[in-house]
Structure 1
Amino acid sequence: MEASVPYALFLHRQELRRRQMLYTQVSKTKIQLTKELIAEQKQRLSSCSPEDLQILSREQQFKRQLQQKLKHRNKQLKAIAKQQEKRCLDIDR
């Protein structure tokens, strides 16, 4: 079961309040919040105005962009970890 919008917002605010914010965690909570907002908007699709449909489209695009950035960041972190591992192995030799 997915979290509700208020709970998703609570989680996102908690991540933003952390002393040492983790980009990936903040992005994940932001994606979850956006996902919940999109789901809520889709439930009211029959009574949507053209502006509401534009907003829904922008929210979906925003969510996709966040997911792509998060995927890219994870790849960067893996590459950095590999480089550090390689350096440690080189030092040990």
Structure 2
Amino acid sequence: MEQTNHYFYVLECSDGSYYAGYTVDINERLKKHNNGKGAKYTRGRTPVKLLYSEEFKTKSEALKMEISFKKLPRKAKEQYISSETSDIEG
């Protein structure tokens, strides 16, 4: 059975808002968002840029992270992205 990567990702839209989602191919999904073929929310808010992504072993784990993130207030979202990216950058 082929292993698929599952990603939770966060985009920053042109209006400064965040969009969180799930995908198995981040580059392709980002292209779709920027071409107006992604989520309805991002269609009028292009261009979007990838702020954060996290890989999970299962679709379920990635979707749970997406749901949890969406429930956070804006400040907590900013802190999550900031703390996670600073861990990665070293």
TM more than 0.5? no
Of Structure 1 and Structure 2, the greater helix share is in 1
Q: Relative contact order (alpha carbons < 8 A, sep ≥ 6): 1 or 2 greater? A: 2
Of Structure 1 and Structure 2, the greater strand share is in 2
TM-score when scaled to structure 2? 0.26
